[in-house]
Structure 1
Amino acid sequence: MGGVRPLPLLLATGIAVATLGTAACSSDDGAAASGKVDVVAAFYPLQFVAERVGGDAVKVTNLAQPGVEPHDLELQPKQLAGIADADLSLYLAGFQPAVDEAVEAEAKDRAFDVATVQPLSDAPEEAHEEGEKEEHANEGKDPHVWLDPTRLAAIADKVAERLGSVDKDNADAYEDRATALRKELATLDTEFETGLKTCDRRDIVTSHAAFGYLAAKYNLNQVPISGVSPEAEPNPQQVAEVAALAKEKGVTTIFFETLVSPKVAETLAKEVGAKAEVLDPIEGLASDAAPGTDYLSVMRQNLGKLRAALSCR
C-alpha cells in the first residue's frame, strides 16, 4: 500500500545498532532514564491513544512526523533502533509496510497490532485499482478504523491492557484513563449520530477510500474517486462514473485530504459545479496545525464540514 521504499532492513538495522544502540540506551531524555514506559506509535491516532491512556507514565514517540503522509514512511536508523528498544510498539499491520518489516525483525514480542482488535472491513470494490498486488494479509482491507470513534475506544481498551502487562504497578491507572477516553469518544459518537441524522443528501465523494468506517457507522454512502492508497491514480472511467453520480445526486462538495494533492478533487469539482473541501482522514496532523489540535478537534471539524456538504438540519 503506497509507494514505500524502506531501507533494506538488515542494512538499516546494522547501521542502527552500530551507530545508535548505545545512545538509545543512555539518552538523558530516554524512557530508561525517566523511568517511563517507552512506547513507539506508528502514526498519529495511535500516538493520541497512547498518550491519553498512558498519561505521565509513558514516553510516546510517533514514527510519522506531522505533515508527512504515513503510508510512505521510510524508517531511519534511529527509528529502527527506537522500535528495537521500545517497551511497546503500536502499529496497524498492512498500513505501513516499513513498520511491519521492522516489527517482525526487531520487536515482534513487544508490539501490538491494533488491526487485531476487530476485523478490518473490506475496501469498496470500486476502489481496487487495476494492477494492485497482494502484499500483506490486510490487502483489500480498509485500515482507517480510527474514523469510527467506537472502534478507537475498543483499541484504547486493549492498549491499556498491553501497557498494564508491561507496567503492572500502573495497570489500574491505565484502565481508568482508557475508561475516561471511552466516555469522550462516546460523546463524539453521539455528536456524529445526532449531527448526521437528518440530511438532504447522504453521498460523500472523497478523493480516496479512507472514510468507509465513518460512512458505515453514520449511514452515509462513500463514493471514492480512487482506492485505499492515496497515491493511486484513478483511471478515466472511474472519474467519469463518479462525475455522473455526483451530478445525479446533486453533490455540492468533493472532499480531498490534508496530506495529498487536491488536484483530482479540484478538477472533478469544477466539472460537476461543486466546491473542493478538505475532509481529514487523520492519518497525521498537519505540520501547521494550531496548538491544541488533536483527534477529537479534527473529528469535530470533519463533522461540521459533512453537515454543510450534506445540508443537514
Structure 2
Amino acid sequence: MPRGPRLLLPLLALPLVLTGCGGGTAPGADPDALQVVASFYPLEYLAERIAGEHAQVTTLTAPGVDPHEVELTPRQVGSLGSADLVVYAAGMQPAVDDAVSSQAAEHALDVMPSASLLPSDGDDHDHGHGHEHDEAGHDDEAAEATEEHSVDDGHDHGAFDPHFWLDPKRYADVAATLANHLAEVDPEHAEDYRANVRVLTDELRDLDDELADGLQTCASREVVTTHDAFGYLGARYDLHVVGITGIAPDAEPSPARLAEVTALVEELGVGTVYAEPLLPTAIAETVAAETGAQVLTLDPADGLTADEDTDYPSIMRDNLDALREGLGCS
C-alpha cells in the first residue's frame, strides 16, 4: 500500500535497520527515505539499483555468510516490523521466512512467484534448454511449478531450485516485479523506479548476451560443482550441471555419491571440478584428487565475500572466465 505519514517511528526504527547486516546507503542518509530490508545479496542488489537514492537498503545476510544458514538476532527480527518493505525469497532462508511471518506479513514481497522456478531434479541436473532471446517468459512447466511453490521448504527447498538469479533473464523478471511493488509502496517516486529498472534490465540483457557468446563454443559442457546451485545457469546456456551434493549446501555427500560423481568425471573426461567461495573446498578437492581434475571457483552469487569491489555483474563475469577456462571454450 502507499506510504502513510512518517512521524517519529522511522527515526526510532532506523538504528534497528542499520544494525542488521550490511547496508546499501551510508549512515547519515535521509531519515525519511524508504526503509527496505532485503533477505540476502541478490535481492539487496536489485533493491539498491532500482530504489536508488529514494531508499535505505539493508540486508539480513552479512558478507561471508552462507545465506542458506543465516540466523537472525532479535534486533534483526524486530527491524522487519519497522521497515516499509521486506524483500525475500520464500523457502531460501527458513529463519527469514519465520521472521517475515511474525513481523512483516503485510509489507513483505516474496519474489519467488515471479522467478519461474525450475523443479529440483535431485542429484543430477541435466539442464540443456539452451539460450533463447525471448521476451515472452519461460516454459509452461516452470510457470506451473512456480504456481505450486510452497514457502515451507526448509533447507531442502522443497521440489524447487531457488537459485533463479543465475539466469539473468529470470533475474530481470524479478527486478521488474520489485520495481512495480516499489512504485505501489512509494508512488511519489514511481517513475524513477521504472526508469531505474529499465536501465538495469538493459544491463542484464547485455550480460546475458555476453555469457551466451562466451559459452557458445566449448570443448566440454559438463560442469561439476560442489553443490547443485547452478541449474539455472545450465538451463540458460546449455550446460550439463552435476552437483556433488544436492540443492542444500550443508548436506554431506555419501560415499556412494562421491564414487558416482568420481566415476562420471573419469568417464566423461571432465578436467575441472568447481568449488564455491563461501563453502569448504574439501568435497571438490576430494573428487579432483581422485580424478586428476583441477579445482576452480564458481560463485553462486548468493552472498558476498569480504571483497568490497565485488557485485553481481562482476561475479557473473568471473564465473564466465572460470567456465571458459574449465570447459575449454574458444
* Matches for 1:139-150 after TM superposition, within 5 Å: 139-150=158-169
* Matches for 1:35-184 after TM superposition, within 5 Å: 35-126=32-123, 136-137=152-153, 138-184=157-203
2:13 aligned with 1:24, yes or no?
yes
Identity, % of aligned pairs?
Answer: 44
For 2:170 and 2:28, how far apart are their aligned partners in 1?
A: 29
Question: Do the aligned partners of residues 297 and 21 (structure 1) sit closer, same or farther apart at CA in structure 2, a change above 3 Å counting?
Answer: closer
For 2:323 and 2:102, how far apart are their aligned partners in 1?
A: 42
CA contact (8 A) 1:25 1:32 kept: no
In the alignment, which residue of structure 1 is the partner of 2:327?
A: 310
How large is the RMSD of aligned CA atoms in angstroms? 2.3
Q: Scaled by the length of structure 2, what TM-score is found?
A: 0.82
Q: CA deviation at 1:25?
A: 5.5
Q: CA deviation at 1:33?
A: 5.9
Q: CA deviation at 1:32?
A: 10
CA contact (8 A) 1:207 1:257 kept: yes
In the alignment, which residue of structure 2 is the partner of 1:281?
A: 300
* Structure 1 counterpart SS, 2:123: helix
Q: Which runs of 5+ in 1 are unaligned?
A: 1-19, 129-133
* Structure 1 counterpart SS, 2:189: helix
Letter in 1 for 2:251: A
In the alignment, which residue of structure 1 is the partner of 2:138?
A: none
Letter in 2 for 1:51: E
Letter in 1 for 2:205: A
In the alignment, which residue of structure 2 is the partner of 1:3?
A: none
CA contact (8 A) 1:226 1:234 kept: yes
CA contact (8 A) 2:43 2:87 kept: yes
Q: Scaled by the length of structure 1, what TM-score is found?
A: 0.87
Q: CA deviation at 1:23?
A: 4.2
CA contact (8 A) 2:227 2:249 kept: yes
2:225 aligned with 1:206, yes or no?
yes
* Matches for 1:224-263 after TM superposition, within 5 Å: 224-263=243-282
Instruction: State the 4+ residue runs in structure 1 displaced beyond 4 angstroms.
Output: 20-23, 25-33
CA contact (8 A) 1:42 1:63 kept: yes
Q: Which runs of 5+ in 2 are unaligned?
A: 1-8, 19-26, 126-149
Question: Do the aligned partners of residues 224 and 248 (structure 1) sit closer, same or farther apart at CA in structure 2, a change above 3 Å counting?
Answer: same
* Matches for 1:8-23 after TM superposition, within 5 Å: 23=12
Q: CA deviation at 1:118?
A: 3.0
